Structure 1
Amino acid sequence: MGKFYSVDLRERIVMAVDQGMSRRGAARHFSASVPHGHWKTTTFLAGLRHDRITAPLVLDGPMNGLIFKAYIKQFLVPTLAPGDIVIMDNLPAHKVSGVGVFQESCRLNVK
């Protein structure tokens, strides 16, 4: 059986707290300023094997179909071996036309 691959991990991290309560019994709340409008989405793609990560890519922004097709062709396919399995979720970028061409030409087993 081939190795398993998982593609596309993405997360939006917002770690600021702008309000809260003070100690029990105290009548004051605290408030603080936090930056607004400067949040970024960072996308991390990689092949995940049982012993290592391969084909890593970090994007400064969200994933789209054009970027995903380029990632498959330029990063992921060169690292695949016969019998490898590629696992993708239902992200709309994964469903873009043209991804099936890579599946057929490289004989990928996609789940």
Structure 2
Amino acid sequence: MKHSVIAAAFGAAFLLAGCASSSLSTQESLLIACRGYTATLTSLAGFRAADRLSDDQVATVEQARPILNQACSGEVMATDDLLAVVEAGLIQMIFIEKEVRDES
């Protein structure tokens, strides 16, 4: 579980670095955000398996997953709007992950 949290932290760091750098293309920024999403989702799955997510947290993740899964599938053209949606969903999930970790 600790490795998942570390991976999520690195994913968030890369996301923030991508946002701060104007030299990245939208496609590259989307790739970074999607990797952060994957790491955070893996961490949240572990918390869910340990019954540490509330019903509201699970509902939030389950509502965002279909959109983020499609956006990160590589089958959708990367646009600034799509990147904004992925980043917003990822930030929600990172906050959920932080809440759960802070409860420990």
Aligning the two structures, in what range does the TM-score lie when normalised by the shorter sequence?
Answer: under 0.3
- Indicate the structure whose relative CO is greater, using CA pairs within 8 Å and at least 6 residues apart: 2
Structure 1 length normalisation: TM-score?
0.24
- Greater helix share, structure number: 2
Which has more radius of gyration?
A: 1
